[in-house]
Amino acid sequence: MNTYENLVKKADERIALFHRELAELSDDIFDHPEIGGQEYRTTEKMVAILREKGFSVVYPFAGFDTAFKATMGSDDHKYKIALLAEYDALPDLGHACGHCLSGAISLLAGIALSRLQDELNADIHIIGTPDEEYDGGKPKMIRKGVFDGYDMAMMIHMYDRNQVYTKLTALSPYTYFFYGKAAHASSAPWDGRNAFNACQLFCHAIDMLRQHVKPDIQIHGIIRNPGEAPNIVPEEVSAEFYIRGLDRPYLNQVIDMISDCARGAAIATQTTWERKQYGEGYDDLQTLSFGNELLSEAYEEMGVPLNGDPEKVFGSSDCGNVSYVCPTFHATLQIADEGTAIHTREFADAVKSDRAHEALAKGAGIISRYVIKMLSDEDNIKKLKAEFEEKKARFM
């Protein structure tokens, strides 16, 4: 009989069978880090393993050299589940975010679940999603329709806590350009228009704006090319800013306010300005309470205590964008001592360890149990999709 317990047993057997191979993959990717958009060796290794396990893999995929999509069988079941694999590294710090391990978890879970597709009436797809750290691969994939038609997407991120969801902030990256007129700063400053002064005033205006926005809003930036020499009035200066918030609609209002700051600074200094987005915007994560309840059960069954505060801001991820397209889960697993921040050398040390290898099996077990729970009772997936559609009606 295909009871929940029997399906879990089958998944666990395959996790145990392939755990060592996927642990070696994670360690190998850790030892050969590749930054976003350049994960060629990494994806070749992943794709080779998936093909050896019987998956049909489209690679490259959706116009991205380092993206892939792996499917098993005829791909004609009722439900479609996307397991998201991340694998890009950070400049200088390598896999201090743990993407090598997170990606291996998705692969191991997908391999375990692929033999249960008939019992679950679901196709388990593994989607390789490059460049999460900098430019955001998933928003580009969304525009190409990659995540259309999925009933659910999920992944597990590495962290210093165990959580069923994370508080992701929406993020928009912009460069603000100010254009003036060069002149000799001593003999004829009246002939110049100082773009650096405009940029300074812009930054001061943002500082004054901070007290009038909601507490979750974060605005941080740097000034580029402030000038060539002290005796030349700077004619072009730019500032790069990340603007973050917990709610995309309100964040968009704040972005308009910041544009007013730039406009006012330009007027005051008799310069001109323009704004350009220099990377993908990230959205906040749309959390779903019913799905989180079932995911909590999966953690409990795996003996993994939920010891974090999911309402504490985690940061930004392009996984949030996917949550506006289909029900999406971005859970975490603890691989480092409490207080060890991601994107640090200390966290990188934890990514290649016995504790990390244990997390690989636990993560695959959690994903497998969650997917089996969601699909072995058709009422569950219906409840999840109903909650998503209700929420979607509010944010669309």
C-alpha to C-alpha distance for 313 and 310, rounded to whole angstroms: 8
Q: What is the pLDDT of residues 279-330, one digit of tens each?
A: 899 999 999 999 999 999 999 999 999 999 999 999 899 999 999 999 999 9
What are the structural domains of the chain?
4-168+283-395 (3.40.630.10), 170-277 (3.30.70.360)
pLDDT attached to residue 1: 64
β 79-85/122-128 pair status: parallel
β 272-277/236-245 pair status: unpaired
**Cβ atoms of 330 and 168 closer than 8 Å:** yes
pLDDT attached to residue 278: 87
In the DSSP assignment, the letter for residue 272 is: E
Query: In the chain, which stretches have pLDDT less than 50?
Result: none
pLDDT attached to residue 2: 80
C-alpha to C-alpha distance for 228 and 67, rounded to whole angstroms: 41
C-alpha to C-alpha distance for 360 and 375, rounded to whole angstroms: 23
pLDDT attached to residue 205: 98
Residue 251: both structure tokens together: 């964040």
pLDDT attached to residue 396: 61
0.75 cut: is pTM over it?
yes
